[in-house]
Structure 1
């Protein structure tokens, strides 16, 4: 797509409503028959997900109560990027807040869009290494329990459906490929 197209479509977007965590917007889309339809979508802030890995390849995961689905999910630590915040800074902050660990090394792994038919969210995935115990600093509404699991168990949890969170599944599977290359 040309830059001109991106500028034109950005100018045609309009906000329908705004909430604390996201806005609902719409933009006109050309139909194949020459007509136009207005498509609505959600514009949340972008986010990070962190894969905290110990030297023996154990992973620090979290069990996180998610009110929207009414479930406690196995996840990797993650969080929303504040306006103007660098994703790397957010990754360090979220790791410590949710797990009580800090990382000396925070490597970018990949980034991905979560649900491009419905929202604009982009998630930046990082691998945290050289971990040291710190202090968990949860928000008032968070119900998060960190738990260290082996890499083999994490992969088994993806395969058997124990891990149901998409950002966690995507990051773990991408990291599996990354680690295979690293190990040769």
Structure 2
């Protein structure tokens, strides 16, 4: 199969966080039509693990899906910001833990809605977290806890962890563990 032809786009809505375009596309062997394209800023996230083999998680409510679940620190990469620097900034703002952007290891990359969205998520692994302050973004979590890595697969299976960026990063960490 070959690439789709893009004939142009027209903006429908735009804000600092999201924009929506209608894009005129033509799949191979098909007629041209308008397809929705959601444009989102890239997201950087961190799986922070400690020496006791525990992962730092945040318990929070997501109004869009009306769900409660455990998540990893993550957020939008600001214009011109380095991915690792954004990831380290998000950890500090959301949890009060400081991690070195230079010591972050890339753990996972995904495009969660590739068929209609430009979203790109990069997850890093950090092992050097030090609590230095209270979280600045106090609205981000109702609880921040260290949870044993051995519980993570069960938590995903039981839908206690559902956010795509968290599931992706945590499953990658579990897949890379020595058996």
TM-score, with length taken from structure 2 = 0.87
Tell me by how many angstroms 1:173 deviates.
0.7
The equivalent of 1:64 in structure 2 is: 60
Give the Cα separation in 2 of the matches to 1:140 and 1:63: 12
Structure 1 gaps of 5+ residues are none
The equivalent of 1:138 in structure 2 is: 136
Does the Cα contact within 8 Å between 2:96 and 2:136 map onto a contact in 1?
Answer: no
- Structure 1 window deviating more from structure 2 (82-91 vs 15-24): it is 15-24
Structure with a larger share of its residues in helix: 1
Find out whether 1:75 has 2:34 as its counterpart. Answer: no
Give the Cα separation in 2 of the matches to 1:131 and 1:32: 49
Tell me by how many angstroms 1:33 deviates.
4.7
Structure 2 gaps of 5+ residues are none
The equivalent of 1:94 in structure 2 is: 90
Give the Cα separation in 2 of the matches to 1:138 and 1:68: 23
RMSD (Å) for aligned C-alpha atoms: 2.4
Give the Cα separation in 2 of the matches to 1:55 and 1:83: 34
Corresponding residue SS for 1:63: strand
Size of the alignment, in residue pairs? 177
Tell me by how many angstroms 1:34 deviates.
4.7
Give the Cα separation in 2 of the matches to 1:141 and 1:56: 28
The equivalent of 1:85 in structure 2 is: 81
